[in-house]
Structure 1
Amino acid sequence: MSPEGSAKGVKPDSAWSVFLVFLRLGLTSFGGPIAHLGYFREEFVARRQWLSERSYVDLVALCQFLPGPASSQVGMGLGLSRAGFPGAVAAWAGFTLPSAVILVLFAQGMSAWGSALPDGLLHGLKIVAVAVVAQAVWGMARHLCTDVPRVTVAAFAACVALLWPSAVGQLSVIVGAAVVGLTLFRAAQGQATESLPIPISRRTGVMSLVVFFSLLAGLPLLIQVWPSQTLPMVQDFYRAGSLVFGGGHVVLPLLQAATVPNGWVDNDTFLAGYGLAQAVPGPLFTFAAFLGASMNVQPSGWVGASVCLIAVFAPSFLLVIGVLPFWEQLRHSARTQAALAGVNAGMVGLLLAALYNPVWTSAIFKPQDFGLALIALVALMFWKLPPWLVVLASGLIGAWLSSVY
């Protein structure tokens, strides 16, 4: 570890102290992954000086380069650098548990008192999901589809996803987009930067990657040998966490394809929970806990939430540990950057398809629905209101509209 990266000689922290720091961030970090990275920089670079600005940028670059939720992966890397593997787990738990618990409690409230909730309240949550996903599509397209070939990849990916609405179809889009990226795109070689201040041996990295790929390939085979209710959930949520490039919003189509067609969660519940997930702090991937708690099959409740939450985050943990030792070489590979440029454009297309189906088709039925979605979008993109406030207001307005019209 470099002297600069070792936070000016400060001794490593205990896993408990790492947990407490990230728990506070998990309770207060609203605004999505970009905002989370800003909170992390202020806390760990400017205030605590756990690592240098340059090292933090390196770590963010790594996590943007990997599938999964970037902010959670940055947290895992920071925890790993301060307290080893227990620190990585502590950082993830502290940052994730607050929003996961809130979403599970909401899921149980819907199950127990769903009939007592005004229909318009849940419909308002579904409408605000239209605005949130539209904002995500626009923001990602601006950064990831910067020329005609990338826009074309995104458009074809959306068409394929709409015509082939299944997990297999989405996986085909991702693989096809990577091939197109390798064929058509070119990326400049990166410049040398300082090493990341995280001591992970290449042997440990290889073992972690072996576990990652073994689970990705082995879970479908294990289901054939040992049928159960739980393993298909683990497989689908693990696969979703393994294939998502571009942040939490992009997991929406993968989780929808995994849960709704199978009858595990009905579409109205899915969209209502997704709308609420915008209003809580922490990573959007905790939406998996809501889905696990809302399952129409067993396991559900707290057990189902734990299974789905661990399954969707496990790939991120394994990949961060697996890739860190090789990142210095990998991030300068033009071929790797080109393939990921294609994948990123394809993920924009997948999210665009999800904006239409199921988000739009399940929420926008009347002119006032469209009007509320438009106002919510303006509130998020231009008024810069906090997402939790927009979600809360949309739910209340939805309840009011249902009583008036």
Structure 2
Amino acid sequence: MNASPPSPAQRGSLHAALEVLAVFLKLGLTSFGGPIAHLGYFRREFVAKRNWLDDQRYSDLVGVCQFLPGPTSSQVGFSIGLLRAGWPGALAAWCGFTLPSVLLLLAFAVLAPHLAGRLGDGLVHGLKLVAVAVVAQAVWDMARRLCPDRQRAAIALCAVAALGLLSTVYAQLIAIVLGALLGLALCRTPPSTDAVVPTGGSGLRISRAGGVLALLLFGALLLLLPVFVQSHGMQALKVFDAFYRSGALVFGGGHVVLPLLQQQTVATGWIAPNDFLAGYGAAQAVPGPLFTFAAYLGWMMSSPPNHWAGALIALVAIFLPGMLLVIAALPWWQSLRARPTVAALLAGVNAAVVGLLATALYSPVWTSAVHTPVDFAIAALGFVLLVRWNTPPLAIVALCVLAGVASAGF
């Protein structure tokens, strides 16, 4: 029996999804510079050039995604695809923006074990120094943006102190909860209330019931996955839980995922410390979202599931919570952001993640990479070039790698 031909509406939806895929694939191949730069590329492409959104709707989408944990630029791209072409458009946007950097990092993962000898050691050491410069820049930028007053600076310092004093695996979660409580006590200021929940070019609107369902699924996975891990002990389930939990707790920017993933993969013995930092440095050299670092880690796992299976599990798991939260938040955004309590809680959490990332800058990033005055000079040069000269991260990668290779005796 022959299938019936697609209706005009289906053809239109398919055409719109393919259009979304083509545009985001181009962005996935060319969007260097981190999430803030990505948002600039998106505005130029979708507001100024294609007129898929106006400035107000785009700014409000960015506000929704910055409010939530997860990879901001990927969440904004997912939302634009959703609003432009429905669920096929959301999937197309995510695939187009994500897959180029995934494939590049997996290529590095395949080549990394063959980088032996002094040349390979110098290359890996140079990538570690890239991580020092990039994470230091992230701490600098986030501290200026998220800790502009004494109250939030104090919250960041409290988070650093908590992480230094606590040895439990829940130390990072405790620091985030502490930041939220201190934010409620110290950071109550009335936010602006002029948001407009975007509906997008296709007129698609997510119902509040759909938003609640997405939130329930997010919470169920976050709470129940550890229970299943304890009762079943499947390694694939452990990997999914580790990366899902990391994606669910990333407040304040993609670089904050570094300490969370380090805790879940290096501390558990799944990934060697050198492989972890080398991959993080390589992630700075590719376009697209930093969260694709998870695919590299999934490939490099010391035991199955690894390679393609590990990469797929890690990639889906780390992005899933952020996307569920976007779907949950879009119908409720206007009323939520108008509440001083929510704004204060978020301010405290954001300040705490500055302390979280500052702690990660020391260990494992600094302690694993900076061993000599020459190492310090290379990392400091990379940091200054990033902060004061706005040098593209790809150029910093090249500089640090060449310096690392040269310092190894070449």
Query: Shared fold (TM-score greater than 0.5)?
Result: yes
Tell me what 2:384 maps to: 378
Tell me what 2:254 maps to: 248
Question: Among 118, 127, 130, which residue is 2:132 paired with?
Answer: 130
Tell me what 2:49 maps to: 47
TM-score relative to the length of structure 1:
0.95
Tell me what 1:215 maps to: 221
CA contact (8 A) 1:12 1:82 kept: no
Tell me what 2:373 maps to: 367
Tell me what 1:5 maps to: none
Aligned counterparts of 2:289 and 2:130: Cα–Cα separation in 1: 18
Q: Measure how far apart 1:166 and its partner are.
A: 5.2
Tell me what 2:93 maps to: 91
Q: Measure how far apart 1:118 and its partner are.
A: 2.3
The letter of the residue matching 2:48 is: A
Q: Measure how far apart 1:241 and its partner are.
A: 0.5
Aligned counterparts of 1:114 and 1:309: Cα–Cα separation in 2: 28
Q: Measure how far apart 1:225 and its partner are.
A: 2.2
The letter of the residue matching 2:157 is: A
Q: Measure how far apart 1:25 and its partner are.
A: 0.1
Kindly report the root-mean-square deviation, in angstroms, between the aligned alpha carbons of the 2 structures.
Answer: 1.5
Tell me what 1:7 maps to: none
The letter of the residue matching 1:378 is: V
The letter of the residue matching 1:190 is: S
Q: Measure how far apart 1:193 and its partner are.
A: 3.0
Aligned counterparts of 1:217 and 1:342: Cα–Cα separation in 2: 23
Of stretches 155-164 and 276-285 in structure 1, the one that deviates more from structure 2 is: 155-164
- 1:149 equivalent to 2:130? Answer no
CA contact (8 A) 1:154 1:348 kept: yes
Aligned counterparts of 2:194 and 2:393: Cα–Cα separation in 1: 38
Question: Among 385, 394, 400, which residue is 2:400 paired with?
Answer: 394
Aligned counterparts of 2:386 and 2:132: Cα–Cα separation in 1: 12
Aligned residues between the structures? 395
Tell me what 2:9 maps to: none
Aligned counterparts of 2:379 and 2:191: Cα–Cα separation in 1: 42
CA contact (8 A) 1:167 1:254 kept: no
The letter of the residue matching 2:409 is: S
The letter of the residue matching 2:43 is: R
CA contact (8 A) 1:178 1:342 kept: yes
- 1:317 equivalent to 2:319? Answer no
TM-score relative to the length of structure 2:
0.94
Tell me what 2:36 maps to: 34
Q: Measure how far apart 1:376 and its partner are.
A: 0.8
Tell me what 2:290 maps to: 284
CA contact (8 A) 2:179 2:348 kept: yes
CA contact (8 A) 1:166 1:257 kept: no
CA contact (8 A) 1:189 1:332 kept: yes
> In percent, how many aligned pairs have the same letter?
53
The letter of the residue matching 2:314 is: C
CA contact (8 A) 2:295 2:310 kept: yes
Tell me what 2:352 maps to: 346
Output aligned runs, 1:171-210, within 5 Å.
171-198=173-200, 199-210=205-216
Aligned counterparts of 2:366 and 2:149: Cα–Cα separation in 1: 27
SS of corresponding position for 1:403: coil
CA contact (8 A) 2:156 2:351 kept: yes
Aligned counterparts of 1:82 and 1:94: Cα–Cα separation in 2: 15
Cα deviations across residues 136-188 of structure 1 (Å, max 9, x unaligned)? 00000001111112111111211222333554100011111111111121121
Change (3 A) 1:188 1:177: same
Tell me what 1:355 maps to: 361
Aligned counterparts of 1:78 and 1:373: Cα–Cα separation in 2: 37
Aligned counterparts of 2:317 and 2:167: Cα–Cα separation in 1: 22
Q: Measure how far apart 1:383 and its partner are.
A: 2.1
Question: Among 63, 76, 97, which residue is 1:74 paired with?
Answer: 76
CA contact (8 A) 2:28 2:97 kept: yes
CA contact (8 A) 1:240 1:254 kept: yes
Question: Among 92, 100, 103, which residue is 1:101 paired with?
Answer: 103
State the 4+ residue runs in structure 1 displaced beyond 3 angstroms.
10-13, 112-117
Change (3 A) 1:11 1:256: closer
Q: Measure how far apart 1:116 and its partner are.
A: 7.8
Cα deviations across residues 175-218 of structure 1 (Å, max 9, x unaligned)? 11111111121121323233311510011111111110000001
CA contact (8 A) 2:197 2:331 kept: no
Unaligned runs of 5+ in 2: 1-11
SS of corresponding position for 1:318: helix
Of stretches 91-100 and 162-171 in structure 1, the one that deviates more from structure 2 is: 162-171
Change (3 A) 1:79 1:119: same
CA contact (8 A) 1:159 1:353 kept: no
Of stretches 249-258 and 223-232 in structure 1, the one that deviates more from structure 2 is: 223-232
The letter of the residue matching 1:205 is: G
Question: Among 138, 141, 148, which residue is 1:139 paired with?
Answer: 141
Of stretches 184-193 and 370-379 in structure 1, the one that deviates more from structure 2 is: 184-193
Of stretches 189-198 and 60-69 in structure 1, the one that deviates more from structure 2 is: 189-198
Tell me what 1:329 maps to: 335
Change (3 A) 1:242 1:169: same
CA contact (8 A) 1:60 1:74 kept: yes
Cα deviations across residues 18-66 of structure 1 (Å, max 9, x unaligned)? 1111010000000111100000000000100001110000000000000
SS of corresponding position for 1:360: helix
Aligned counterparts of 1:83 and 1:358: Cα–Cα separation in 2: 42
Of stretches 111-120 and 80-89 in structure 1, the one that deviates more from structure 2 is: 111-120
- 1:224 equivalent to 2:230? Answer yes
Change (3 A) 1:36 1:196: same
The letter of the residue matching 1:347 is: V
The letter of the residue matching 2:126 is: G
CA contact (8 A) 1:223 1:232 kept: yes
SS of corresponding position for 1:375: helix
Output aligned runs, 1:106-117, within 5 Å.
106-114=108-116, 117=119
The letter of the residue matching 1:71 is: S
